[in-house]
Structure 1
Amino acid sequence: MARVNTLLFLVTVALTVVAVIDCLATERDRVQHFPRGAWLVLVIVCPLAGAIAWFRAGRAAPGAGRPAVPGWAVVPAAPIGPDDDPEFLRMLAEKIRNR
């Protein structure tokens, strides 16, 4: 039984350390719901629940469709379709004018 308790303790410590490092390394605009300092306090004071909360709700998922900071717009990396591509629209307008 002591081995299981030791293993659970080590897993909790490892998860807490990884969550603290990840919280410190995450870019400021990807931290959600609370400020970074509040997340650090939550992870340290409540190691297991805080770490799980951080990984589930504290940071925006890579490529998330909504902005991490309210009021900020998500800028697409590239045009989604031809009607969103200004170069394509310019070329199409020139073709129509040259007919």
Structure 2
Amino acid sequence: MLYFGGFFGVLALGLWLFCLIDVITTDDGDARNLPKVAWLLVVLFFPLVGSITWLVAGRPVRAVARPRAHERAAPGFPEYDRPGRSAAVDAEADAEFLRRCRERAEEQRRKAREAGGERG
């Protein structure tokens, strides 16, 4: 019976330390129901009850768990993922657009060469 009490004490101490560190490392605005300082005092002065209460009512809810290192995808390009972004669906229209872009670029280069030749 003495071993069970010692085991329970070590378990309660571990829970208290975990919750104490968790309260301290939580951002000020993320704690629920009470300000962070109040949660710190509750966990400090009421170790077992305060720790359980912190876990149930005070700890921030993490909406999305962080992926593990091997599950992380390569960083993408968010400008391509935004809703409403148009993508080429017609190959002919896309080719026509690119042809017009090349023609416009050539026209701008020609004008720049002509303007440069007139100055010199």
- Pick the TM interval, shorter chain: 0.5 to 0.7
CA RMSD of the aligned region, Å? 2.1
Give the match's secondary structure for 1:29.
coil
Aligned-partner Cα distance in 1 for 2:7–2:61:
29
Indicate the residue corresponding to 1:53 in structure 2: 53
Aligned-partner Cα distance in 2 for 1:36–1:29:
8
Structure 1: state its 5+ residue gaps: 65-77, 92-99
C-alpha displacement at 1:60, in angstroms?
Answer: 2.2
Structure 2: state its 5+ residue gaps: 65-77, 87-120
Q: Please give the TM-score of this superposition, normalised by the length of structure 1.
A: 0.62
C-alpha displacement at 1:53, in angstroms?
Answer: 0.8
Q: Please give the TM-score of this superposition, normalised by the length of structure 2.
A: 0.52
Report how many aligned residue pairs link the two structures: 71
C-alpha displacement at 1:62, in angstroms?
Answer: 0.8
Indicate the residue corresponding to 2:26 in structure 1: 26
Specify the code of the residue in structure 1 equivalent to 2:50: G
Indicate the residue corresponding to 1:3 in structure 2: 3
Percent identical among aligned pairs is 27
Structure index of larger Rg: 2
Give the match's secondary structure for 1:61.
coil
Q: Is 2:44 aligned against 1:44? A: yes
C-alpha displacement at 1:32, in angstroms?
Answer: 1.1
Instruction: Kindly indicate whether structure 1 or structure 2 has the higher relative contact order, using CA contacts under 8 Å at least 6 residues apart.
Output: 1
Specify the code of the residue in structure 2 equivalent to 1:3: Y
